[in-house]
Amino acid sequence: MGQHILITGASSGIGAAIARTLDRDGNRLSLGARRVASLAEASRAAFRAHLDVTDERSVETFLAAAIGAHGPVDVLVNNAGLARGVEKVAEADGQAWREMIETNVLGVLHVTRRVLPQMLARGQGHIVMIGSVAAHQTYEGGSVYCGTKRALQSITEAIRLETVGSGVRITSVDPGMVDTEFSLVRFSGDRPRADRVYEGMHPLRAVDVAECVAFALSRPPHVNIDLILVKPTDQAAVGKVHRRPATDRTRP
């Protein structure tokens, strides 16, 4: 029998791709997101429900229902997160900052602190954080987003230290440029502006990240993949991207 895998932010992009990739081998998936209508398209999972990781009551309600449907959580994939805007610190009004901090940092903590004790009590489990290359390199206009991902990196490393010897595994998968709704959300629905982010280069696909998660989960219990930093071949670093001329912009 497979594992109970709980995925946050599973309605689109990387979260939906992870759900599709792990929807096999008898796994029991619990998928949560704010856009519930999109969850049905993500997987054949038996349990799908509204989840707002910034709302502790929503988290508690979702977890209780998921555990009631599928039993204790074997794998938690903390995927819910977002970037909002490219404001410089001196020009910001702070609204986007709060949304990113509450989702990318507090949201992860709200879910993790309720799932981890059960894993520790059972002496097994796996928590996967979907981080970002932004945790490793910052850029102008991304101060708070990068700050949230760097905070997540520190939280992940601390949990790894706090749980060593418990049988619980902790992994961070940190992607570079991925062609999902990420930029569309960042630019508040401005499609042309979002598309320009990936213009002339071959970004990662959501499934590429999902396969990294699947690899980490597939290792035997004595193997912990601490970190997977994955970027497109065309991206060497934040801001260092190879872009092809307009005559050679084919994408796989």
The residues annotated as belonging to the active site are: 145
Evaluate whether 172 touches 156 at the Cβ level (below 8 Å). yes
Q: Look up residue 43 and give its two tokens.
A: 């997987």
3-state secondary structure of 11: coil
Question: How does DSSP classify residue 94?
Answer: S
Q: How far apart are the first and last CA of the chain?
A: 36
Evaluate whether 205 touches 181 at the Cβ level (below 8 Å). no
Evaluate whether 65 touches 47 at the Cβ level (below 8 Å). yes
Instruction: Name residues whose C-beta falls within 8 Å of residue 199's C-beta, 6 or more positions apart in sequence.
Output: 243, 249
Could you count the other beta carbons within 10 Å of the beta carbon of residue 24?
9
3-state secondary structure of 143: helix
